[in-house]
Structure 1
Amino acid sequence: MLIRKFKINESGLNRFFGPLEAKIMDILWNDVEMTIKDVQQVLDREKLTNFNTVMTVMNRLVEKGILQKRVEGRSFLYQPIQTRHEFLNMQSREMTNELMDEFGNVVVSHMLDALEDVDDELVAKLELKIKELKKEL
């Protein structure tokens, strides 16, 4: 379930989803399974949207392969196919691979420049990964 449209000027889940999709995914990633009505009620606390809109968006997320649904009695229960961590990990890995394929050395240079703004633990992880890669060669 790779998201093809990454929005640079957005933040958080809005980089991958539309605003309502992001809110729905945020709700579902914080619960186990929910019906459309359950999700709509959470959104309704903020007066965000009606049932039909939520139903349409959730079913589109199913079509995109982001949510799965199953029947229980007369209701459909929805849940994300991946955890939030799995989703973000996959998206960032794919994005990094695409940037490396297209821009190579420039991307590495910018990533190294960005290390000035990160903590020492991340730099240590990078150094360990580089040592591992050198051993494989």
Structure 2
Amino acid sequence: MKRMGYRMEEEGVNRFLGSLESLIMELMWESGDWMNVQQLRESLKSEQVYSVNTIMTVLNRLSDKGILDKHAAGRGRNKLALFKVMVSREDFIMEQTRNVTEGLIKDFGEVVVAHMMDVVEELDPDLLRKVEQMLQEAKMRNSDDNTKSSK
């Protein structure tokens, strides 16, 4: 899957995908099955009606990004493009947030970690406890690795 851009002003999956891309992906993740353009068009419960060409363009873009699999069914005039998710919503979010975090830490290191800790402390004390536990586990793994490599 390709690395997506990151839009600070958006929320959720919209931080990585455009609004119609996000809307289509939510429908695709919910379905989990092969869908064609017409099925998606009917599933879009939006006040705005999207053309088949617009939806097809977005589906092709999502396929190019490695998020959707594209399959052709039928022949000639009956040929139909079908699409299915290649990555779960959770895996998509996991990979994209890792890419953002990795880039920030690579470029700004200590400053980013300090800001992350400040934000975690302010917003979610339970998450702070989880971070402390993860740090302890990482220290133990690191200690175990050092002990093994010195033998």
Q: Shared fold (TM-score greater than 0.5)?
A: yes
Structure 1 residue 109: deviation in Å?
0.5
Does the C-alpha gap of structure 1 residues 45 and 126 become closer, same or farther in structure 2, counting only changes over 3 Å? closer
Identity fraction in percent? 37
Alignment correspondent of 2:102:
97
Give the aligned CA root-mean-square deviation in angstroms.
1.7
- Matched to 1:25, the amino acid is M
Tell me, yes or no, if structure 1 residue 11 matches structure 2 residue 11: yes
Partners of 2:63 and 2:69 within 8 A in 1:
yes
Going from structure 1 to structure 2, the CA distance change for 1:75 and 1:14 (only over 3 Å counts) comes to: same
Closer, same or farther: CA 116–45 of 1 in aligned 2, 3 Å: closer
Offset of 1:76 from its aligned partner? Answer: 2.6
Q: Is the 8 A contact 1:44 1:50 kept in 2?
A: no
Question: Structure 1 regions of 5+ residues with no counterpart?
Answer: none
1:52 aligned to 2:53?
yes
Q: Does 37-46 or 27-36 show the bigger shift?
A: 37-46
1:130: which partner in 2?
Answer: 135
| Residue correspondences, number | 137
Structure 1 CA distance for aligned equivalents of residues 135 and 12 of structure 2? 29
Letter of the 1:51 counterpart: V
Task: Indicate yes or no: 2:112 matched with 1:112.
Answer: no
Which residues of structure 2 form unaligned runs of 5+? 144-151
TM-score, with structure 2 as normaliser: 0.82
User: Quick check: which has more Rg, 1 or 2?
Assistant: 2
